[in-house]
Amino acid sequence: MGSPEFAMAIIAILIALIICSVPVVIALGLSSFFGLAYLTGSVDVAGSLLANTTYEAIRDYVFAVIPLFVLMGEFIARSGTAADLYNLINRGLKRLPGRLALATVAGNAVFGAVTGVSIASAAAFSRIAYPQMVKHNYDKSTALGSIAGSASLGMLIPPSVLLIVWGVISEQSIGRLFVAGVLPGLLLATMFFLFIIGYAKLKPAFFGEGAGHVDATPAIEPTAADLKREKLGGIGVCILIVVVLGGIWFGAFTPTEAAGVGVLLALLLAVLKGVSLRGIGEAVLETGRISAPLLFLLITAQMYSRLLALGGITGFIQDLFLTLGNSPFLILSIMVLVWFVLGMFIDSVSIILLTVPIFAPLSSGLGYDPIAFAIMGIVAIEAGLLTPPLGLCVYTVKSCVSDPDATLARIFKGSIPYWVILIILVALIANFPALATFLPSLM
């Protein structure tokens, strides 16, 4: 068993490695391995623990859900369905002010429901929505902010990679976490909608000339072939969402089985949309590139969890939190603040791997519902995707837009209102856990 000094040393070493730009997966692995070697007094024992952890961490059936959902998202992305969705939603919202920004939010919500990756949504709609907004005289900061901000829906609306990783690390039901994310995700999209409509009425010039009035952006009539293609994409995505999420909700599929069914449907849709055999092969390769680092992170995270348990680090940090007072709200606020600070420097998956093994048991000890805590944590971590200086969604938008006026400062500025809305949602879930627990209670 370690001492408080050991706990502080391990945390300091881990933070120092991350500050020195050592990848989180390597920082976790090194600190965990040598920490276990110190505790057990043997490098051989630490090596044996590493081998066992590697085997146990990825042999579980549930881990197949990560590459499967990523592959499903790759098929959807390559089929051009995101553009179809955007065009359909844009025409459907033609009587609302700021409709291109609204279409971006709605498109991100639907696209996020089949990809589960915020970065993928940000990349897709940077290429699809931004040129249209610029064409219709949108303020560039407003346009860029709506793309980066609404991409955060991808990690809350299931299937979400973050929810999967959270469920694996905290040993919670991934299916229940998926269902729990639906209501907060829809609430977040609604809050984005209301903000854009109100902002467009107050500042119509930011949304194109006359954007505060009806149908400010003239519609371009699509050809019959375009309509057929867009309807195929839109209906196909809707069927995919209903089958995957409905199957999980009603118990027809486990999350892993739902992911497998989703991949088959997404592959069928991609073939119908004309994706070539080469494109399908590239989707499989890209899935490997995305999934392999995540699986390595999960291995090192399991080692990290063992170190926390054997070294008494979890208990030390929990006692440290409890010395600040017995107020659950105060301790939850500190956790959220830690997530915000980490979000300025490292990616969302790494934040979960670093904090959930410590924070999840502490929140349960405070009597806070673990499902509600997970959703609140995901939203708080999502805010990190918009927080400078890192803000991965912001950097993704920047890298996907060739316009020299699309500076990081301008994107961060446009993202501020969406960041604030995310913070408001964190506060709502913290005070009203039923927002996250209501739908899982019906399962």
- Exposed/middle/buried for residue 389 (C-beta within 10 Å: 0-12, 13-18, 19+): exposed
Nearest to 174 by CA among 255, 246, 117: 255
* Residues above pLDDT 90, as percent of the chain: 19
- The reported pLDDT for the residue numbered 217 is 47
pLDDT in tens, 331-348: 888 888 888 877 776 777
3-state secondary structure of 98: coil
pLDDT of residue 213 exceeding 50: no
Task: Point out the least confidently predicted range of 109-123, 154-168, 265-279.
Answer: 109-123
**The residue to which tokens 């027809």 are assigned:** 252
Element (H, E) at 380: helix 370-384
pLDDT in tens, 156-173: 887 788 888 898 888 888
Task: Point out the least confidently predicted range of 19-28, 125-134, 312-321.
Answer: 312-321
DSSP of 255-287, one letter per residue? HHHHHHHHHHHHHHHHHHTT--HHHHHHHHHHH
**The residue to which tokens 């995540």 are assigned:** 294
pLDDT of residue 397 exceeding 60: yes
What is the average pLDDT value for the chain, to the nearest integer?
A: 82
pLDDT of residue 202 exceeding 60: yes
- The reported pLDDT for the residue numbered 94 is 77
Degrees (nearest 5) of the Cα angle 99, 104, 106?
Answer: 90
pLDDT of residue 427 exceeding 70: yes
Q: Are 309 and 2 in contact (CB under 8 A)?
A: no
- The reported pLDDT for the residue numbered 214 is 43
pTM equals 0.79
DSSP-derived secondary structure letter, 218 = P
* Residues above pLDDT 70, as percent of the chain: 91
Q: Are 124 and 393 in contact (CB under 8 A)?
A: no
Element (H, E) at 334: helix 328-343
- The reported pLDDT for the residue numbered 209 is 54
Find the mean pLDDT for residues 113-133.
78
Give the integer Cα–Cα distance in Å for 40 and 59.
26
- Report the interhelical angle of 408-431 vs 140-150 (nearest 10°): 40
Residue type at position 207: F
**The residue to which tokens 């999209």 are assigned:** 189
**The residue to which tokens 């919670």 are assigned:** 172
